[in-house]
Amino acid sequence: MKAVFKTKWAAYSAALLFWLGFWHICAVKAELSFILPKPLEVFKRFFELLGHFAFYQTLLISLLRVTVGFLGGLFLGVLSGFLSHRFFWARSLISPMMSVIKATPVASFILVVILWIERGGVPSFISLLMVLPIVWQNTVLGLEKRDPALGEMAQVFRLGKWRTLLRVDLPQVIPFILSASKTGMGLSWKAGIAAEVLALPAESVGEMIHNAKLYLETVDLYAWTLAIILTSVLLEKLFSALFSPKKGGRYADPQKAVQGL
């Protein structure tokens, strides 16, 4: 196991060094730092940003905006998914809306939403829209994939509708919701930052990126982009650590989801 880990680590490190080298060569050939700065310049600026409290404050505010939207989309996606599975009229009503959301470009949504609500709420609303159809679709799919034998068992033991929902249906659906959440988390973060770039709410990562582009501070632009990428990776790693099947969580593995019935 350790040998495999070392081999993977060596491969990832080699790939990272290759692309950093490629980036450096392109920057040297371009000889235009305001278009393509060198990697060392970007990393130097990034570590300078890490020494300022305002950097963490800005990143946290943007993260909170996106988190609010993510949680809102998660809640509405699960609720609409259960309604769509339970009632035909709800599925007929909700399904076209979800198709429109998935097909519409994010930039179009951002520009329209800016006209509707206060600029500080735009990133949250856009993040919500990105998560909503993914969670809805996976919730419906999870309900359709339920084991009918467990439902019959619940009827035999007369668990009742509420206990059947909590003890039988929900545990089987949660792995699908977690899978959608992991995908939606990355999408909501990137879409939320894009919304900030266009809406320009105060004290936001999007505002920093916009200002860096406006004043041709390309090194700052790349440094903030690096912060966005690393934050996205950390969020995904944190999510995987909390809900990975290897951790033995009850809802992390579909095979374990119905244990304790």
Query: What one-character DSSP code corresponds to residue 167?
Result: I
Q: Does pTM surpass 0.85?
A: no
> What CATH number labels 38-247?
1.10.3720.10
Contacts of 167 (CB under 8 A, 6+ apart): 154, 159, 260, 261
Cα end-to-end span (Å), the chain: 35
* Cα–Cα distance list, 200 to 68, 110, 122, 124, 207 (Å): 18, 11, 9, 13, 5
pLDDT, averaged per 10 consecutive residues of the chain (261 residues), comes to: 65 87 86 82 94 94 95 94 90 93 91 90 94 94 72 55 61 86 90 94 92 89 94 86 58 44 42
The two tokens of residue 159 are 């668990």
Q: CA-CA distance, 131 to 144, in Å (whole number)?
A: 20
Q: CA-CA distance, 87 to 84, in Å (whole number)?
A: 6
Q: Write down the pLDDT at residue 261.
A: 42
Angle separating helix axes 218-243 and 53-86, nearest 10 degrees: 50
Q: CA-CA distance, 164 to 258, in Å (whole number)?
A: 11
Q: CA-CA distance, 86 to 173, in Å (whole number)?
A: 14
| Nearest residue to 35 via CA among 188, 249, 218 | 218
| Nearest residue to 210 via CA among 125, 110, 71 | 110
The two tokens of residue 149 are 């034998």
Phi-psi group of 260: left, alpha or beta (phi > 0 → left; psi -120 to 50 → alpha; rest → beta): left
Contacts of 173 (CB under 8 A, 6+ apart): 139, 142, 143, 146
Residues making up the chain, counted from first to last: 261
Q: Write down the pLDDT at residue 174.
A: 86
Asked if residue 42 lies in contact with residue 222, where contact means CB atoms within 8 angstroms, the answer is yes
Q: Write down the pLDDT at residue 76.
A: 96
Q: CA-CA distance, 157 to 175, in Å (whole number)?
A: 25
Q: Write down the pLDDT at residue 248.
A: 47
Q: Write down the pLDDT at residue 257.
A: 41
Q: Write down the pLDDT at residue 154.
A: 55
